[in-house]
Copies of this chain bind each other. A is one copy, B any other.
């Protein structure tokens, strides 16, 4: 592991990127689909990038853990949005941080915040750097003289495990596999597997209200928090460890979703689960998309709480799961550490059949995954059928996107949530807006939809867009599609984000969604804990009126 290199410009491990043969094959396939020739650019060369001179200098006492070298600054410039990877792929690094701090203790974080408050330097908390919404990229906001990016990944320990309550105190800089590796000897798991799992941290999940891989009940990170510890510029705020409370507005819910604008999450006590022993998974096909939606709605309201309930529309089923007969595919699964899930699966399949679902002969046992996306991925590669094919595509998707960027293909994923009564309208409005924008900017392309999460009162649909881009214009083209889709989401009253967060890219639509009163409250809250306005300026909280 120690020898593996993270890509400075794209996703994940350098050695996991698509190789030239795979890239050429992908290009050929897309050329065929788009009817347009695609030129593949080489990956960018770090040595040819240029950064501005650092504008600020940290105190000498910080020297051992603060860095200004080219690689650190370049690789911390952007998150991993499409527009980030495109810009990096062209070697265009705009507002790089002046300093990358890698604290190894909480008191170093306090020291940075004190110094930065006095020196008027912006501080951007940075976990795995997987933001797809411009959450970790300073764009000149705030009255600041420079920017320090605070990389928290050295604070990655599981500090305490409470087996009795099934909970652990975990440092916020722990990447997904790093924390799961420490929980495994205790036979416990956080069981929070966002697609970014390998390259995102507990603190990032908490700050952005991440959604995990699972479809229902305990999947939003919000519901797994017992207590949180946050270093603000005016002091440390740590809530009590409690399984539930009714004592005033929730401390933790104030910081959940604050995206680094109020302080730095340094630790949390997290609710854990026993590792699942019983699993069943099935792929149910529907001839008709609406039948699939109706089946999922019925499942969501059944009280069965499926672990997975991903409805892939026909295009996505074809692209990602090899289902070529035009069917809609529902991947439905159950897991338990305590009891067999055969009866739950049987009830779910009956529910699907009642809505026209074509039930496979035998639900499969999806086998044991140990909670490490990389290992799960390798295990899955041997798995046959539509369910296995879909999972492989899902886990490889961010690497595939880097290859697509090299051939100027425009790829965007956007997600929302709405109540069931508005789903048809929401789906139609978003799909139409996206397709119109794609045709306007690119001439051809396609839009797919799947459900990532379900609630009794509505789904969280997730859309993917693919279109050929013009080299050099990708970001402008992407922005046009993004604006069209975001406007459509706002117009139907859905949420601008269910789990991708707000950052800087979603800010205009977040401001419309957030009530005016909440906007004023957040501005006042920030003034109370961050009077110098140094914490991730431009994100979530508006600056006070001047």
Contacts and interface: CB of A to CB of B under 8 A. Distances in A.
A413 to B, nearest CB: 14
Interface stretch (A137-145, A241-249, A357-365): A241-249
A515 B239 contact: yes
Interface in A232-286: 232, 234-251, 253-259, 263, 271, 273-274
Interface string A418-444: 111100000000000000000000000
A517 B165 contact: no
A254 B246 contact: no
Interface in A114-154: none
A494 B514 CA distance: 33
Contacts of A520: 234, 528-529
Q: How large is the interface on A (under 10, 10 to 19, 20 to 34, 35 or more residues)?
A: 35 or more
A455 B223 CA distance: 11
Contacts of A529: 517, 520-521
Which of A242, A251, A305, A337 gathers most chain B CB within 10 Å? A242
A457 B420 contact: no
A302 B339 contact: yes
Contacts of A28: none
Interface string A455-466: 111111000000
A453 interface: yes
Interface string A166-180: 110000000000000
Contacts of A237: 515-518
Contacts of A243: 417-419, 455-460
A339 B304 contact: yes
21 contacts: A164-B297, A164-B420, A166-B456, A209-B245, A211-B246, A226-B457, A232-B517, A237-B516, A243-B459, A244-B453, A244-B460, A245-B417, A247-B257, A247-B501, A247-B506, A248-B257, A248-B514, A249-B256, A249-B258, A517-B529, A520-B529
Given A164-B421, A217-B217, A242-B494, 20 more contacts: A167-B419, A208-B246, A220-B244, A235-B516, A237-B515, A239-B515, A239-B518, A243-B417, A243-B418, A243-B456, A244-B498, A246-B497, A247-B501, A248-B257, A249-B253, A250-B257, A251-B514, A305-B305, A339-B347, A525-B525
